Amino acid sequence: MTSVQTETGILAGEQRMLIDGELQPAASGATFGVEHPANETVVGDVADGSVHDMERAVGAARRAFDETDWSRDTDFRFHCLTQLHEALQRNQERLRRILVTEVGCPISVTGSQIESPIDEVRHWAEYGRDFDYLVDTGLHDTPLGPARRKLHHEPLGVVGAITPWNVPFYLNIAETIPALMAGNTVVLKPAQLTPWSGTELGRIIAEETDIPAGVFNVVTSNANEVGAALSADPRVDMITFTGSTATGRAILAAGAATVKKNLLELGGKSAHIVLDDADLSACLPLAAMMACVMSGQSCILPSRILLPRSRYEDGLAILKASMEGFPMGDPWTPGVMQGPQISAAQRCKVFGLIEAGTDSGARLVTGGGMPENLPVGYYVQPTLLADVDPNSVVAQEEIFGPVLTVTPYDSVDEAIAIANNTIYGLSGEVSGADVERAFSVATRMRTGNVTINGKSHFGIDSPFGGTGQSGLGYRNGAPGYLEYLHIKTIGMPE
């Protein structure tokens, strides 16, 4: 297909997987293509690993955990992850180009997906080096006399990491680096649409660090059954997963037979409660921007805007103007902040949900189609749906597109009830001039995290996790490190 966009920067990534310290093709030799969503062209291939390849990777990770000092040698792990941090910095621009190539994410907004995760490697290396793995809790009364108790924090074993495509390099780092620093060995299974953000990490680890063979493995595959094999393998102690709620349920079920620990970060349908004293001209342009950056392919996006009825039409007008003026286009062009959706299938899903919205009575205020000036690439116009019934499909299902739904409310209690009316509970937002009132509303939202007046809840030093069907457990902060450790309490003589 002919492209009207510049191809500047398009870069194909590493084709080979990393298994037991060797960069290698699939045992079968099979590969599959990776598409650049801005020009609808396959730009390179990657190994199409099989269940057999996955079993070899799990075997390597098991051996590396059971037979090497990796789990016990904190100083060596710090050394290796410091090396990795430096190597990632050297590879930073290559990683950025690969990210834009396989995701279609605008190059101007890649900082949080490249620089930030690279910094996180350093963070976890230092956090893990300074962590107190042995805590003496002193003497405890027991029927047989006093016992000293020590808490020994130990790695779990083999961690399987399964990642989605929306922020692939960031999530590959977020899921694997704290696990490694805590002393586990890892098998990473990246998403089909974004395999290179995983294989590049494998290549850099193999070529530029002393991380021993088998400690970190990457298996790419075009088949969901390969991720399923990882989540069911009895040699795997824990699955750390980010992705859809449907896949999260399948992973939980697959791990049940071996009572595997699961850390799940799943889908969301977050609400933004705009209170009647909010500064609409400040909070709504920001809300529109959040919906369009990354083409709405963000799990924590507050995609359901709840406006007080008294200010409803004013709010809609601000949202409409902000969305219509949003800089969308070729992701390689500096200043562009909205690129294409990642795939034809994803764009089709977004259009299907917009149509479900209008079918159920929602008013299409702007957008709803493909932009005329971008005939190639999976672009979707920023779309605003008003008068959305909170029980309708478009208000209940995750869209993962540049779409905001707006629903009016009459009382704060009603707004909170609407916000809480989904199976999800990942994130949320409250805007209002009275910050104490906004805080009180935030505490009543049944969700994992809340932003008030644009002040982000998200950061490496603060726990992040969903409630409801948005997940189990935490990333980031102290709880995010503890997820990868078992606390063994040892009772002993004084």
For residues 229 and 415, which CB has a smaller minimum distance to ligand NAD in the complex? 229
Contacts of 359 (CB under 8 A, 6+ apart): none
For residues 51 and 147, which CB has a smaller minimum distance to ligand NAD in the complex? 51
For residues 127 and 241, which CB has a smaller minimum distance to ligand NAD in the complex? 241
Nearest to 53 by CA among 293, 218, 232: 218
CA 30 – CA 50 distance, rounded (Å): 9
Choose, from 265, 398, 429, 483, the residue flagged as catalytic.
Answer: 265
CA 128 – CA 153 distance, rounded (Å): 11
Six-digit token pair at 1?
A: 């297909």
What residue has token string 């992850």?
Answer: 81
Residue 265 is among the residues annotated as catalytic for this protein:
yes
For residues 74 and 396, which CB has a smaller minimum distance to ligand NAD in the complex? 396
Q: What is the DSSP letter of 464?
A: B
Contacts of 417 (CB under 8 A, 6+ apart): none
Contacts of 200 (CB under 8 A, 6+ apart): 13, 14, 91, 94, 95, 98, 169
Q: Could you list the beta-strand ranges (E) of 341-417.
A: 363-366, 383-386, 403-409
CB 23 within 8 A of CB 89: no
| Bridge partners of residue 241, in order along the sequence | 162, 264
| 3-class DSSP state of 330 | coil
In the complex, the smallest distance separating the C-beta of residue 233 from ligand NAD, rounded to whole angstroms, is 11
CA 166 – CA 107 distance, rounded (Å): 14
In the complex, the smallest distance separating the C-beta of residue 448 from ligand NAD, rounded to whole angstroms, is 8
In the complex, the smallest distance separating the C-beta of residue 400 from ligand NAD, rounded to whole angstroms, is 6
CA 344 – CA 342 distance, rounded (Å): 7
Helix axes 168-181, 115-130, angle to 10 degrees: 10
In the complex, the smallest distance separating the C-beta of residue 464 from ligand NAD, rounded to whole angstroms, is 7
CB 39 within 8 A of CB 377: yes
Strands 485-492 vs 147-155: parallel, antiparallel or unpaired: antiparallel
In the complex, the smallest distance separating the C-beta of residue 319 from ligand NAD, rounded to whole angstroms, is 22
Six-digit token pair at 352?
A: 């299907």
CA 451 – CA 455 distance, rounded (Å): 5
For residues 127 and 464, which CB has a smaller minimum distance to ligand NAD in the complex? 464
CA 473 – CA 466 distance, rounded (Å): 7
CB 22 within 8 A of CB 214: no
Nearest to 122 by CA among 82, 88, 93: 82
Distance of CA 313 to the CA centre of its chain: 34
In the complex, the smallest distance separating the C-beta of residue 344 from ligand NAD, rounded to whole angstroms, is 14
Q: Cβ-count burial of 86 within 10 angstroms (0-12 exposed, 13-18 middle, 19+ buried)?
A: middle
In the complex, the smallest distance separating the C-beta of residue 192 from ligand NAD, rounded to whole angstroms, is 5
For residues 195 and 408, which CB has a smaller minimum distance to ligand NAD in the complex? 195
For residues 164 and 368, which CB has a smaller minimum distance to ligand NAD in the complex? 164
In the complex, the smallest distance separating the C-beta of residue 229 from ligand NAD, rounded to whole angstroms, is 8
CA 32 – CA 25 distance, rounded (Å): 11
| 3-class DSSP state of 325 | coil
In the complex, the smallest distance separating the C-beta of residue 401 from ligand NAD, rounded to whole angstroms, is 11
For residues 70 and 464, which CB has a smaller minimum distance to ligand NAD in the complex? 464
Footprint on this chain of ligand NAD (rule: CB under 6 A): 162-166, 189, 191-192, 224, 227-228, 231, 242-244, 247, 250-251, 265-268, 299, 398, 400, 426, 466, 471
For residues 194 and 209, which CB has a smaller minimum distance to ligand NAD in the complex? 194
Report which residue's Cβ sits closest to ligand NAD.
227
What is the set of active-site residues? 265
